[in-house]
């Protein structure tokens, strides 16, 4: 029996849940999971429903659209998402994703890894995946991204994952993948910007180390947040200890964020997210 994921985003009004569930019931479809939320401030309704049964997706979507004409409706099967990973030289996030991918834990198909440095090629080759070095040195951002896109588009990814990719993307590139680029960074921003954030944090005597995964938009490091976490540190931790702790939390947060996104559990609402976990 086939399983489907239905995602609905709509201006709020009475009877929305009834209209949706009525159509599923009349189609002899079995709801196996359901979440809904109303943003009272924006008066907007969000719904994620998993159901099982035999249906014609195009016909079902047309029925739902007729019943909810103002809604944005997505209907899909659970599947592995096509992904291209961008990285630079830090191996911890990329290595964790490659390992999860190798053991079927990522809910994605990594089609290639693309980097502006050659450092990580041997790591990627161990997992028998394509690696592309697209040099950025001496090129403008626009020229480098043109070369980058020439490689990336050949793999037709649904999502780009920035696994410590140390380049700022232009609005033109971001616009090609709206809310389909996921980035990970330490959660010191905006406190410790620039080089050596962990050395700065050590000097300041911080008590927690954190990481944030977010969608990339045109504002640097300000896209809608998907997942965050922190771990405690104290005066016994050196700057190196803090950096290692930061790497540990970064890879866990990135994997968590990707799981939520690939399972269709994340809705973007303005500059925030609605997440059914």
End-to-end alpha-carbon separation of the chain, Å?
24
Residue of 5, 26, 25, 18 whose CA lies nearest to 68:
18
- Cα separation, 210 vs 203, in Å, equals 17
Spell out the residues 6+ positions from residue 97 whose beta carbon is closer than 8 angstroms to its own. 85, 106, 110, 161, 163, 251, 254, 255, 258
Residue of 256, 264, 213, 267 whose CA lies nearest to 37:
267
Name the burial class of residue 77, with classes exposed (0-12), middle (13-18) and buried (19+) by CB atoms within 10 angstroms of its CB.
Answer: exposed
Residue of 47, 54, 5 whose CA lies nearest to 29:
54
Residue of 192, 184, 188, 190 whose CA lies nearest to 252:
184
221 is catalytic: yes
Gyration radius of the chain over CA positions: 21
| From 39, 221, 241, 248, the catalytic residue | 221
Q: Crossing angle, helix 197-204 and helix 239-262, to 10 degrees? A: 120
Name the burial class of residue 226, with classes exposed (0-12), middle (13-18) and buried (19+) by CB atoms within 10 angstroms of its CB.
Answer: buried
Query: Which two tokens mark 26?
Result: 């009349």
Tell me which residues are annotated as active site.
221
């Amino acid at each position: 029996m086939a399983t489907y994921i239905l995602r609905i985003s709509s201006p709020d009004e009475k009877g929305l849940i009834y209209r949706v569930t009525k159509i599923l019931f009349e189609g002899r479809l079995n709801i196996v999971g359901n979440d809904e939320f109303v943003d009272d401030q924006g008066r907007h309704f969000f719904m994620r429903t998993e159901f099982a049964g035999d249906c014609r997706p195009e016909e079902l979507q047309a029925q739902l659209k007729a019943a909810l004409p103002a809604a944005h409706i997505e209907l899909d099967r659970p599947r592995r998402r096509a992904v291209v990973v961008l990285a630079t030289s830090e191996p911890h996030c990329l290595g964790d994703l490659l390992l999860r991918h190798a053991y079927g834990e990522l809910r994605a198909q990594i089609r290639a890894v693309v980097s502006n440095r050659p450092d990580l090629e041997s790591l990627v080759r161990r997992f028998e995946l394509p690696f592309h070095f697209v040099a950025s040195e001496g090129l403008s951002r626009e020229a480098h991204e043109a070369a980058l896109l020439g490689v990336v588009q050949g793999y037709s990814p649904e999502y780009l994952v920035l696994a410590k990719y140390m380049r700022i993307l232009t609005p033109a590139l971001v616009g090609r993948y709206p809310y389909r680029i996921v980035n990970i960074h330490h959660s010191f921003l905006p406190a410790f910007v620039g080089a050596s954030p962990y050395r700065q944090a050590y000097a300041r005597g911080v008590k927690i180390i954190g990481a944030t995964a977010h969608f990339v938009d045109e504002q640097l490091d300000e896209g809608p947040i998907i997942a965050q976490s922190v771990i405690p540190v104290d005066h016994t931790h050196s700057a190196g200890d803090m950096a290692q702790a930061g790497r540990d939390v970064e890879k866990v947060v990135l994997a968590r964020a990707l799981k939520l996104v690939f399972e269709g559990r994340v809705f973007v609402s303005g500059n925030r997210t609605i997440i059914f976990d």
